[in-house]
Structure 1
């Protein structure tokens, strides 16, 4: 179904620390979350402590969600095309905001454990109008 309806993916990084241990992470990069845009609108995927929040936003399909997040103080990367399913065993890692965003990008997403490490790894990849991760890195 997802392949028949083109989607684009944006990843946002924010700085709130709703858990005490999150204060150990770099300010401004204590959490990351994602949004998928299709022809009908936006779906936000936000891995919160202990649960995954998936919300279909009740906004116009043309709403500028990445711009809204930027105005709210988040750093936003994208658009990307969601990656293809992995053809090998998944990596053994705890579920986190970073692991969710990496899973959305696909098996060739850069490895990172923290939101800041993930942001830095993604920033090193050349940006084009439309990005997709594959074995050769980012392509348009």
Structure 2
């Protein structure tokens, strides 16, 4: 881990950031029909003391939105009521050290794993990430708490 990465991670922890990973999605691209219904897309919602930021990698672009809702707004509950599956909260982890740049494509799963940091479980599909987060929730949260 580089010296510049450590302070950035500490700032995220000091800001009280909590990350939620949201799963859902319809098959808006033909190849998405191969993925499990209800788990064809994922995105991250990050809460801090001043409100909510949503990171949503759509086909061909990344949408980053600071929502104009009060900080105490129950965004995960809103998504659950809308029919999405939500995991979290997670404390965003330290960055992953890589000797080489990643060779995998930038996908919604890659973005969510990047938000979760070095302790994020390996997954290729939204369903795989959902299962890994649900199966390893206690172990994952313990590792992130220790990283603080």
**Counterpart position of 1:47:** 57
Q: Whose relative contact order is higher, 1 or 2, with alpha carbons under 8 Å and at least 6 apart?
A: 2
Q: How far apart are the structure 2 equivalents of 1:85 and 1:45? A: 17
TM-aligned CA deviation for residue 132 of structure 1: 5.7
The structure with the largest helix share of the pair is 2
Deviation per CA, 1:79-137: give whole Å up to 9, x if none: 00001112333542110000000011112211111100111111111449x93645xx9
- For the aligned residue pairs, the C-alpha RMSD in angstroms reads 2.4
What TM-score do the two structures reach when normalised by structure 2?
A: 0.83
Aligned mate of 1:64, from 58, 62, 74: 74
The runs of 5 or more residues in structure 1 that have no matched partner are: none
**Counterpart position of 2:112:** 101
Secondary structure at the aligned position of 2:133 is classed as helix
Distance change in 2, residues 1:4/1:126 (3 Å): closer
What TM-score do the two structures reach when normalised by structure 1?
A: 0.88
